[in-house]
Amino acid sequence: MTSLLGKPILYSYWRSSCSWRVRIALNLKEIPYDIKPVSLIKSGGEQHSNEFREINPMEQVPALHIDGATLVESLSIMNYLEETRPHRPLLPNDCIKRAKVREICEVIASGIQPLQNLTVLIHVGEEKKNEWAKHWIKRGFRAVEKLLSASAGKYCVGDDITLADCCLIPQVFNARRFHVDLRPFPIILRIDRELETHPAFRAAHPSNQPDCPPEAIK
Ligand SMILES: O=C(O)/C=C\C(=O)CC(=O)CC(=O)O
């Protein structure tokens, strides 16, 4: 279903892992969308402007304008996409498996990413921020790896790509960014490798975003 109200607009930042989750879900579901870049660093962060605060009072990306509504919070947005565009499902039919997908999403979206996001790192301070981010990602990945040891097939839960994979891959990028040693997490690494070349994941990668600075393209 393409909206009668025009192409969805995603307010996104190239390196924001939460924007990236939604980009993957939109791509997997083959929903065409336009990107409106919001720079989290330019002039202290465009997300803090009065204009953007009207879009998201949390002053964070992503936000998705779709079907005449503006939605914020990546998990909530992905669930809306799943409910309204079920054609390429990102949640399994089996209720236990659905719970397992949501479990992994929660661990990442509530238990890891918020502890290492830009606002928190600014508050923690330049001197401590890398060690801080590393600590929380490592702690969370220990839990994710354990959960995956019971749930994973080819991907996070079984052999189909789900919302859990949309959350995991951007978090692996952040782990590398903060120099987390990923060798203790072989299942995470295997799934990351598996999805590295998938077209929907490739297109959503920070390097392929219109606001990616040329020197950061990998
Ligand atoms: O270019 C920058 O350094 C600014 C912001 C980010 O990376 C985004 C985050 O806050 C991390 C994240 O999305 O998990």
User: Could you tell me the CATH number of the domain that includes residue 37?
Assistant: 3.40.30.10
- Closest by CA to 3, choosing from 25, 28, 23, 33, is 33
23 and 107 in a common domain: no
141 and 69 in a common domain: no
CATH number for the domain harbouring residue 115 = 1.20.1050.10
Are 132 and 116 spatial neighbours (Cβ–Cβ below 8 Å)? Answer: yes
The pLDDT tens digits of the residues spanning 91-112 come to: 999 999 999 999 999 999 999 9
Total domains in the fold of the chain: 2
210 within domain boundaries: no
Tell whether ligand 1 has an atom less than 6 A from the beta carbon of residue 17. yes
Displacement of CA 26 from its chain's centroid (Å)? 12
The pLDDT tens digits of the residues spanning 40-94 come to: 999 999 999 999 999 999 999 999 999 999 999 999 999 999 999 999 999 999 9
103 and 72 in a common domain: no
58 and 109 in a common domain: no
102 and 141 in a common domain: yes
Q: How far is the CA of 118 from the centre of ligand 1 (A)?
A: 5
**DSSP secondary structure of the chain:** ---TT---EEEE-TT-HHHHHHHHHHHHTT---EEEE--SSGGG-GGGSHHHHHH-TT--S-EEEETTEEEESHHHHHHHHHHH-TTS-SS-SSHHHHHHHHHHHHHHHHHTGGGGSHHHHHHH-TTTHHHHHHHHHHHHHHHHHHHHHHHBSSSSSBTS--HHHHHHHHHHHHHHHTT---TT-HHHHHHHHHHHT-HHHHHHSGGGSTTS-GGG--
Query: What is the model's pLDDT at position 4?
Result: 63
72 and 124 in a common domain: no
> What residues make up the domain containing 181?
95-202
Backbone phi and psi for residue 9, each to the nearest 5 degrees, phi listed first? -115, 125
Tell whether ligand 1 has an atom less than 6 A from the beta carbon of residue 107. no
The pLDDT tens digits of the residues spanning 172-190 come to: 999 999 999 999 999 999 9
105 and 82 in a common domain: no
207 within domain boundaries: no
61 within domain boundaries: yes
66 within domain boundaries: yes
pTM over 0.95: yes
Q: Ligand 1: which atom is nearest the Cα of residue 41?
A: 4
195 and 106 in a common domain: yes
ipTM confidence score? 0.93
115 and 26 in a common domain: no
Tell whether ligand 1 has an atom less than 6 A from the beta carbon of residue 174. yes
82 within domain boundaries: yes
61 and 155 in a common domain: no
66 and 102 in a common domain: no
Confidence band for 22, pLDDT divided at 50, 70 and 90: very high
213 within domain boundaries: no
**Of 29, 52, 87, which residue is a domain's last?**
87
67 and 39 in a common domain: yes
Tell whether ligand 1 has an atom less than 6 A from the beta carbon of residue 117. yes
215 within domain boundaries: no
